[in-house]
């Protein structure tokens, strides 16, 4: 595989990582085809299509700029691209599994993997002890992505002096990611809707895995001192939590054409998000018993109606929860950028990481403040204050078979 010039990668990190990822997936898909052609077509090619089919490659960018800012160059480039590709495969595993656990029909504006598999075999209405065939098969698809991620990571760091330290970061990252996902599920059955618990879940499930550990991995690959690695992990913890809180708000009020998910999906699923927890605190402060009752019903396992969703969206605005969370996003993101600036990285890399923090958290460039939030969705039958936006393009039809891996690799190139 050609080793790119790090200066060229600087100009387009996502494209360089996708090219490397495509090469990794080509080898893994060949292994799957040797094992069994049906397995390759139904599962392995679908995993490859998912991994190459979207995403902003934020984790890869954080890893790259931490490596470059710590003095890494041509010698570290192959390892950095390899570990970045491994991170993208961990993300593939996490999203496929997350959609199964949440019963989400869409991901990135397209049918989720479990929905695709049920459509492929017409098994959507045939329940198994663990769900449907599509759900069970999608669990295996996520497992395969994680196995490929571990293989890619091991190949990337083999023989490096930094390999033992990097492997330690990798192990902690995987465990914390699973712990966060479990706490997310647990809150849905226990009804624990406290803000502290929601924040803890977000830190483990998203903040450290999305920003803290990728930054730590990049610095580690370049041989940075432990103090720098620790500072970057803490910076990523702060900005990563801001990223998740912004995503909660965006998921509640954002445009489905942009988010790739239905509006208010977390509310429908009764997820005990930080946004809903803050709304509960505000309702308690205001003595709003009706609001508290609505929030308790949503997060208590009861069936949530569309009217409940619209009432909850209105409540998030009227009680001030949305604005309070938006301010918290700004505070955390700024704290993360300030911590990076003191971590000892090269100035241009530190500035780039700060810009990435702001973009991920929805802050307007150069202002450090959140962009104006969207208005709440109107309740059924309510006339909106202005004409609604035209609907976005319909989701693509469910593919019977995913795009071939060579076609996807060609698109990347």
What is the reported pLDDT for 301?
64
Q: Which of 94-108, 261-275, 297-311, 381-395 has the highest mean pLDDT?
A: 94-108
364 pLDDT band (50/70/90 cuts)? Answer: low
What is the reported pLDDT for 190?
83
Spatial CB neighbours of 301, under 8 Å, sequence gap ≥ 6 = 188, 189, 191, 270
Instruction: Give me the CATH code for the 1-160 domain, please.
Output: 1.10.600.10
**pLDDT, tens digit (0-9, with 9 covering 90-100), for 202-253:** 999 999 999 999 999 999 999 999 999 999 999 999 999 999 999 999 988 8
CA distance 353 to 343: 12
Q: Where in the chain is the domain with CATH 1.10.600.10?
A: 1-160, 163-379
370 pLDDT band (50/70/90 cuts)? Answer: low
The mean of the pLDDT values for the chain is: 87
302 pLDDT band (50/70/90 cuts)? Answer: low
What is the reported pLDDT for 408?
47
**pLDDT, tens digit (0-9, with 9 covering 90-100), for 332-341:** 999 999 999 9
pTM of the model: 0.86
Question: Which range, of 18-32, 137-151, 301-315, 346-360, averages the lowest pLDDT?
Answer: 301-315
Contact 106, 112 (CB under 8 A): yes
pLDDT over 50 at 392, yes or no: no
What is the reported pLDDT for 128?
81
**pLDDT, tens digit (0-9, with 9 covering 90-100), for 75-85:** 999 999 999 99
Burial label, 302 (beta-carbon count in 10 A; 0-12, 13-18, 19+) = exposed
122 φψ region: left (φ > 0), alpha (ψ -120 to 50), beta (else) = left
pLDDT over 80 at 391, yes or no: no
380 pLDDT band (50/70/90 cuts)? Answer: very low
Contact 61, 210 (CB under 8 A): no
What is the reported pLDDT for 224?
98
CA distance 63 to 66: 5
CA distance 99 to 104: 5
2 pLDDT band (50/70/90 cuts)? Answer: confident
Instruction: Give me the CATH code for the 163-379 domain, please.
Output: 1.10.600.10
The three-state (H, E, C) secondary structure of the chain, written as one string: CCCCCHHHHHHCHHHHHHHHHHHHHHHHHHHHHHHCHHHHHHHHHHHHHHHHCCCCCHHHHHHHHHHHHCCCCCCCHHHHHHHHHHHHHHHHHHHHHHHHHHCCCEECCEECHHHHHHHHHCCCCCEECCEEHHHHHHHHHHHHHHHHHHHHHHHHHCCCCCHHHHHHHHHHHHHHHHHHHHHHHHHHHHCCCCHHHHHHHHHHHHHHHHHHHHHHHHHHHCCCCHHHHHHHHHHHHHHHHHHHHHHHHHHHHCCHHHHCCCCCHHHHCCCCCHHHHHHHHHHHHHCCHHHHHHHHHHHCCCCCCHHHHHHHHHHHHHCCHHHHHHHHHHHHHHHHHHHHHCCCCCHHHHHHHHHHHHHHCCECCCCCCECCCCCCCCCCCCCCCCCCCCCCCCCCCCCCCCCCHHHHHHHHC
**pLDDT, tens digit (0-9, with 9 covering 90-100), for 265-287:** 788 877 889 999 999 999 999 99
**What percent of the chain stands above pLDDT 90?**
70
Pairwise pLDDT comparison (342 vs 296), residue with the higher score: 342
Pairwise pLDDT comparison (132 vs 364), residue with the higher score: 132
pLDDT over 70 at 315, yes or no: yes
**pLDDT, tens digit (0-9, with 9 covering 90-100), for 31-66:** 999 999 999 999 999 999 999 998 899 999 999 999
**pLDDT, tens digit (0-9, with 9 covering 90-100), for 12-33:** 999 999 999 999 999 999 999 9
pLDDT over 80 at 296, yes or no: yes
Total residue count of the chain as it appears in this document? 413
What is the reported pLDDT for 32?
98
């Amino acid at each position: 595989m050609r080793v790119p010039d790090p200066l060229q990668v600087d100009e387009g990190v996502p494209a360089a990582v996708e090219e490397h990822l495509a090469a990794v997936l080509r080898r893994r898909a060949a292994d799957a085809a040797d094992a069994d052609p049906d397995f390759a077509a139904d599962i392995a090619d679908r995993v490859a299509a998912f991994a190459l089919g979207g995403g902003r490659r934020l984790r890869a960018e954080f890893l790259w700029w931490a490596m470059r800012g710590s003095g890494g160059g041509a010698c570290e480039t192959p390892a950095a691209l390899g570990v970045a590709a491994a991170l993208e495969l961990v993300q593939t595993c996490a999203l496929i599994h997350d959609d199964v656990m949440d019963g989400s029909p869409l991901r990135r504006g397209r049918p989720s993997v479990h929905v695709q598999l049920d459509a492929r075999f017409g098994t959507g209405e045939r329940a198994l002890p663990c769900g449907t065939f599509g759900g069970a098969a999608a669990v295996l698809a996520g497992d395969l992505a994680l196995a490929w991620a571990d293989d890619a990571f091991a190949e990337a760091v083999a023989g490096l002096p930094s390999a033992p330290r990097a492997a330690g970061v990798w192990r902690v990252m995987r465990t914390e990611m699973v712990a966060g996902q479990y706490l997310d599920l647990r809150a849905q059955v226990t009804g624990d809707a406290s803000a502290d618990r929601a924040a803890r879940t977000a830190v483990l499930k998203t903040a450290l895995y999305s920003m803290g550990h990728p930054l730590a991995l990049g610095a580690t690959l370049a041989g940075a001192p432990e103090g720098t690695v620790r500072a970057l992990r803490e910076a990523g913890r702060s900005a990563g939590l801001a990223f998740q809180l912004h995503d909660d708000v965006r998921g509640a009020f954002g445009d489905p054409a942009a988010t790739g998910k239905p509006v208010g999906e977390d509310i429908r699923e009764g997820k005990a998000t930080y946004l809903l927890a803050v709304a509960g605190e505000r309702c308690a402060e205001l003595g709003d018993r009706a609001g508290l009752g609505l929030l308790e019903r949503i997060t208590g396992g009861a069936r949530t109606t569309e009217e409940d969703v619209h009432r909850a969206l209105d409540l998030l605005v009227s009680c001030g929860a949305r604005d309070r969370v938006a301010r918290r996003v700004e505070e955390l993101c700024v704290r993360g950028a300030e911590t990076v600036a003191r971590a000892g990285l090269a100035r241009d890399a530190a500035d780039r990481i700060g810009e990435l923090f702001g973009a991920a958290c929805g802050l307007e460039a150069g202002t450090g403040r959140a962009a104006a939030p969207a208005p709440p969705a109107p309740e059924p039958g309510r006339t909106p204050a202005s004409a609604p936006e035209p609907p976005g393009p319909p989701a693509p039809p469910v593919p019977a078979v995913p795009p071939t891996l060579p076609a996807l690799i060609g698109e990347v190139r």
